[in-house]
Amino acid sequence: MEYRIEHDVLGEVKVPVDACWMAQTQRSFENFKIGTEKMPQTLIDAFAYLKMACAIVNAREKKISPLQKEAIVSVCQQILSGSLYDQFPLAVWQTGSGTQTNMNANEVITHIGNLEGGAPLLHPNDTVNCSQSSNDTFPSALHIMASLEVKNRLMPALDGIIEMLKELEAANEGLIKIGRTHLQDATPLYVSDEISGWRSMMEHSRQHLEAALPALHELAIGATAVGTGLNAPKNFGPNVCAILDTMTGIHFKSDPNFFHALTSKDAAVFFSGALKGLAANAMKMANDIRWLSSGPRCGIGEMEIPANEPGSSIMPGKVNPTQCEALTMVAVQVMGNDAAIGFAASQGNFELNVFMPVIAYNLNQSIRLLADALTSFTKNCLAGLKVNHEKTRENLEHSLMLVTCLNPVIGYEKAGKAARYAYENNLSLKEAVLTLGLLEEAQFDELVVPEKMVQPRP
């Protein structure tokens, strides 16, 4: 491999001749060969937005020239096009401030900007990193990354699944089924009511995410190294946020306390908690559907899931709830990520948190996995989900919990005795009640009507 020589304050470094990074990136690449996890591309995009906005403000403040600004903006736009992702090779497991990823961005922008400009226009520290520190750029990029992913991926996925559940509700309006509590038969309800519970869970999760976004939209940029704003112009943070607002359509603003912004990652924790809540709701919905579709003959069998692929390598004709399983595995991963984010956020020592790369990685993975899994579940499960009317009616009619409607007439103890007698003697509820002489047949037929046990919708 051919090399060129780059240098930093520690001396000279050999860098592959076709690499666009420089000395500090190369040092990190060589010193942290840990795992296979790389900084997310979405974080690199966030850095591109941030570096563009900083360059524009620095040019207005006459801290860099208009030509330097244009060079920085040009390379950042190339990054956002996706053509330079291979120039960001650094591991998640690096310095806890993310300094080396900030310098990776600075160096790539410098190298390409100077090549395209035909002159040494840019310097990674003095020009591209002007008015900034890794300590305020990395947490800012983290928040920008998460905000963009939520806006562009997660919210559309949630909106899609909510709309699909609304369609399922409407399609099954008026159909009554047996309810279940503690995995045991309970009183009846509408199928549409059960589905409405899933829909409402998704809607509530969306509301929780929305409530957590304002804190995520507060950025540390302008704080520089320890929160004092040293070497940054007055109002640098608010001015950068105003440009980011225009670029992204997201209302970013400066954190009202920069000392909080650098050392605390509570916004990430709060938002991760909302993601965990969504994961918990998704887990419950997916589990309900795989229970209700169990069978098809020896399980509950009230729902039928699409046959997307063969379910077994040995049992022909088997259909497994694969989309449910994928969604529940994602939910487990998100819950684990939330624990990691919480532990990492607790490590804000003095003026800086030094667990930021792992927070960024896990937060990005949670958002991306939930968005992808919900979209897949909507398309490949809910869109083809059907209710088995015959099985639903059969289960309803065989339930002993219909006896509940007799409580006001014969009392709780006699109703319980009838249900137990029916179960022990393999009788229908009606047969048990008549055998025990608790009611006449006409009385039973008038009282035990599932449709009367379900409250009409307002």
Residue type, 103: M
d(CA 286, CA 27): 46
The encoded tokens of residue 199 equal 């829909």
Tell me the average pLDDT of the chain: 97
Rounded to an integer, the average pLDDT of 76-101 is: 98
pLDDT at 449 over 70: yes
* CATH code for the domain defined by 402-451: 1.10.40.30
DSSP character at residue 187: E
Give residue-wise pLDDT tens across range 127-139: 999 999 999 999 9
pTM over 0.85: yes
Q: How many residues does the chain have?
A: 458
DSSP, collapsed to helix, strand or coil, labels residue 190 as: strand
Give residue-wise pLDDT tens across range 1-17: 899 999 999 999 999 99
Instruction: Judge whether 336 and 67 are in contact, CB under 8 Å.
Output: no
- Residue spans of the domains in the chain: they are 3-130, 147-217+259-390, 402-451
Give residue-wise pLDDT tens across range 399-410: 999 999 999 999
Q: Could you give the dihedral angle defined by the CA atoms of residues 278, 275, 385 and 402, in that order, rounded to the nearest 10 degrees? A: -10
Return the CATH architecture of domain 3-130: Orthogonal Bundle (1.10)
d(CA 415, CA 408): 10
d(CA 361, CA 40): 7
Question: Residue 455 — pLDDT band, cuts 50, 70, 90?
Answer: confident
Give residue-wise pLDDT tens across range 168-200: 999 999 999 999 999 999 999 999 999 999 999
Helix (H) or strand (E) holding 284, with range, is helix 266-292
The reply to whether CATH 1.20.200.10 applies to domain 147-217+259-390 is yes
Q: Tokens 């603003």 label which residue?
A: 253
Give residue-wise pLDDT tens across range 284-316: 999 999 999 999 999 999 999 999 999 889 999
> Hey, which residues are catalytic here?
182, 312
Instruction: Judge whether 44 and 59 are in contact, CB under 8 Å.
Output: no
Cβ-proximal residues to 14 (8 Å cutoff; 6+ apart), any chain: 3, 4, 5, 6, 26
The full DSSP string for 252-283 is -EE-S-HHHHHH--HHHHHHHHHHHHHHHHHH
pLDDT at 458 over 60: no
